[in-house]
Amino acid sequence: MRIQRLLGLLCVLGEVDKITVQELANRFEVSKRTIFRDLEMLNCAGIPIVSYPGVGGGVAILRGYKVDKKILSIEDTDKLFTALSGLKSIDNDSSITNLIAKMAPGQEPDLPSPSPYVLNLSSWFSDSITTKKAAAFHHAIEGRRLVRLDYISRTSRVERTVEPYKLVFKQSYWYLYAFCREREDFRMFRLNRIASFEILEEQFPLRQIKNPEFKVDFGREIFSFQKQEGFYEVVLRYDRSKEYELTQKIDASFFSSPESQSGSEVLQGQGEIRFFTSDLSFTANLVMGLLDKVQVISPPELYNEIKERLHKINLLYKG
């Protein structure tokens, strides 16, 4: 993270006559002490940073000194292009295209990058509800407008008034990172759990923002190839013609190959999904999402849980 900030400082200092340490701290969302340490590190690296005291003063790179334009390697520019292209996939702002041209001048915006990665955060659906929510919150963030949310939390449905600061993408979900006025702290709100929202006219003053914390919810993998203490072995039987549909929910690594089943009791055209799990309730939710596509073979606890849930579903539709 520090390397990226140092590079950012160089870019900023290269574009301005001078700038205050406080302005740099605000821009990079760190303390003034951190900026002073970073400037000292740049000095030690041979970049002459000078300070201009008094009103209208600040810090700057020594006049007449030229930063080597080759400070970014080819690999650096490839990574920058990949990251910026990922951002461009959800926000087709011309300024991002211009930034790509500045940071990776050798790379045409519409040509593939040599990088081994491609990031595209856009939805497969042209009318994605999540995309529309993200666009609305983006405007609220830019305008510093309060947002009232009708939010479905883990325990209840609540109404919250929040100050939006960032849109966050983690794994496969979008979140709104905002200061919750009811909780008086920063919170992450998953977009698909926001039932409705209203962007208010009232603006809010900027706070000292905290970086989002990405905690590991489960502490360890729920599904595993290896048996561990306290884990259950799960065996699901399925029709091989449904494999593609099953990969929407389960990684194909857990599917048995036809060769591994020779001599077993599995019927022709059928396959088995095998894994170990620490959470039967989570696994039951997974199986319920597959319904007619799999049959639970073991463990008995999971079989009985699914049977009980199907009984309750049957009662809901009875008559």
- Per residue in 191-242, pLDDT (tens digit) is 999 999 999 999 999 998 877 877 665 545 677 888 888 889 999 999 888 8
Cβ neighbours for 229, distance < 8 A, ≥ 6 positions apart: none
Name the DSSP letter for residue 72. S
CATH code (residue 28): 1.10.10.10
Q: How many residues does the chain have?
A: 319
Whole domain around residue 253: which residue ranges?
223-317
Same domain (yes/no): 34, 117: no
Same domain (yes/no): 89, 155: no
pLDDT tens column, 90-100: 776 666 666 66
Q: Which two tokens stand for residue 291?
A: 């319904």
Same domain (yes/no): 65, 76: no
Same domain (yes/no): 38, 90: no
pLDDT tens column, 272-294: 999 999 889 989 999 999 888 99
Same domain (yes/no): 41, 79: no
Same domain (yes/no): 64, 78: no
* Of 29, 51, 70, the domain-final residue: 70
Who wins on pLDDT, 91 or 296?
296
* Of 152, 172, 203, the domain-final residue: 203
- The 3-state DSSP class for residue 68 equals coil
Give Cα 2 distance to the centre of its chain. Answer: 20
When divided into structural domains, the chain yields a total of: 4
Q: Please state, in angstroms and rounded to a whole number, the distance separating the CA atoms of residues 177 and 133.
A: 13
| Average of per-residue pLDDT values in the chain | 82
For the chain, how big is the Rg over CA atoms in Å? Answer: 27
